Chains A and B, each alone.
Chain A
Amino acid sequence: MCKIYKILYAVVPVRRWRNALIRRHFEGCPECAGEYEVSWELGQTLRPSWIEKSSSLWPQVRHLIEMGEKSPAPRPKSRSLLFRAPRWALGAIGAAAILIAALGYFVFVANPHKTVKLEASKSDVRMEASPRVLVISVALKGKPAKSFIYQTPKASFIWITPSKEIGG
């Protein structure tokens, strides 16, 4: 459609005047007249006359209804959000719950570090309760030597080793 048509369509508010002016414009504008003809034909092609004249589809639809279900299922009254959620959402919630349970098991039940810490603290208590050890001297091959005393956190014993001979 040409610019004049667009202006007429946009500017003239009263439909009757607008249509009259557009019709008059079509008489003098072959471009608009051609496009109007095509759009009219398009309308006719997309909605042919047989559609309005065709007999009612209700008898066939009723037959299908009678052949199939008698009536649609009644609308469910009120369902909680959990039941209205789609299946994939329920599946995701289930998977997340399993994952959290598994993590909880590993963190609180089967974590070896936690157990070691507990055991270590127990051994510390035991150590404190036991009598103190006093190392007076360390000898290597009958000669006095420097001592190295070591206790690992989880061990319940003290490791004493001569590290170097002391001459004399």
Chain B
Amino acid sequence: MDSHEDHEIISRCLGGESEAFEMIVQKYQPGVLALTWGVLRNRAEAEDAAQEAFFRAFLNLDKFDDSKSFKSWLYAIAFKRCLTSLVKAKAERKNRPRIAEATAHQSPRPEGERRLDNLSVLGPLLGKLSAKESLALSLSVSEGYAAAEIADVLHCAESTARVFVFNAKRKLRKMLKGQAHV
């Protein structure tokens, strides 16, 4: 399914045929999930953000510029949802002592709801990168995106996108070396 077909599906959705949007979800779900996972590092949050991104994209289909790539537009929406999630998570972390006190008497969360932390050595290291670096690295490594395409998603200059990827790789290399010494 190329961009021409994307535009055809979008036209159908705009014409009131909302079921056609399922094809868009099927096509871009792995990519959007990889993106949200790359930034959020939590499966449940990544799935929620991806779901929300598809919903937002559907609601704003009329604002999509036909001359641009739908994939990049969708990824930009997904990244915004990730940033919103990160802000919420940060606020929750601040309130955690109070929440912990309030829920001290409650039973522990079921296993399925627990954060999935069984990652490789790289997993926790990726969590130390900034959101933009994580996204740039994720798009570059798992999607094979070029700097121009990453810049399109991040709404920045191509050179800046290249710097994000370079910095992410440099930081990871540095952290891996640090771990090897320990």
A72 touches B37 (CB 8 A): no
Smallest CB separation, B26 vs chain A (Å): 6
Q: With a CB–CB cut-off of 8 A, which chain B residues contact A71?
A: 13-14, 16, 18
Q: Across the interface, do A61 and B34 meet the contact criterion of CB distance under 8 Å?
A: no
C-alpha spacing A71/B60, complex, angstroms: 10
Question: A128 in the interface, Cβ–Cβ < 8 Å?
Answer: no
B122 partner, pick from A42, A52, A62, beta carbons under 8 A:
A42
- A51, B37: Cβ atoms closer than 8 Å: yes
Q: How far, in angstroms, from A54 to B116 measured CA to CA in the complex? A: 15
What's the least CB distance linking B23 to chain A, in Å?
9
Q: Which residues of A contact B50 (CB under 8 A)?
A: 57
| Alpha-carbon distance A74/B12, docked complex (angstroms) | 10
B122 with A61: CB separation less than 8 A:
no
Q: How far is the CA of A38 from the CA of B179 in the complex (A)?
A: 13
Query: Binary interface profile of B, 28-63, with partner A (CB < 8 Å = 1, else 0)?
Result: 011001100110000100010011101100111110
A39 at the interface (CB under 8 A from B): yes
Chain A residues within 8 Å of chain B by Cβ, number:
31
Residues of B within 8 A of A50 (CB): 43
Is A45 within 8 A of B55, CB to CB?
Answer: no
Q: How many A-B residue pairs have CB under 8 A?
A: 93
Decide yes or no whether A78 CB sits under 8 A from chain B. Answer: no
Which residues of the other chain, B, contact A39 by a CB distance below 8 angstroms? 141
Q: Which residue of B lies closest to A66 (CB)?
A: B18
- CB-defined contacts of A46 to chain B, threshold 8 Å: 34, 37-38, 126, 137-138, 141-142
Q: Check A38 against B120 for contact (C-beta < 8 Å).
A: no
> Is B156 part of the contact surface with A, judged by Cβ < 8 Å?
no
Could you say which residues of chain A place their CB within 8 Å of the CB of B142?
43, 46-47
Given A58-B26, A62-B22, A71-B13, do A45 and B123 touch, yes or no (CB 8 Å)? yes
- Residues in chain A near residue B52, CB distance under 8 A: 64
The answer for the CA separation of A44 and B126 in the assembled complex, in Å, is: 12
B14 touches A75 (CB 8 A): yes
Asked whether A110 is an interface residue with its Cβ less than 8 Å from the other chain, the reply is no
Cα of A46 to Cα of B34 in the assembled complex, Å: 7
A75:B62 contact, CB within 8 angstroms: yes
Those of B112-129 within 8 Å (CB) of chain A: 119-123, 126
Which of A38, A51, A60, A62 has a CB less than 8 Å from the CB of B33?
A51
A54 with B47: CB separation less than 8 A: yes
| B residues at A contact (CB < 8 Å) | 13-16, 18-19, 21-22, 25-26, 29-30, 33-34, 37-38, 43, 47, 50-52, 54-55, 58-62, 119-123, 126, 137-138, 141-142, 172, 176
18 contacts between A and B (CB under 8 A): A42-B172, A45-B120, A46-B34, A46-B126, A47-B30, A47-B37, A51-B37, A56-B25, A56-B26, A57-B54, A58-B22, A58-B25, A61-B54, A62-B19, A62-B22, A65-B55, A68-B59, A71-B14
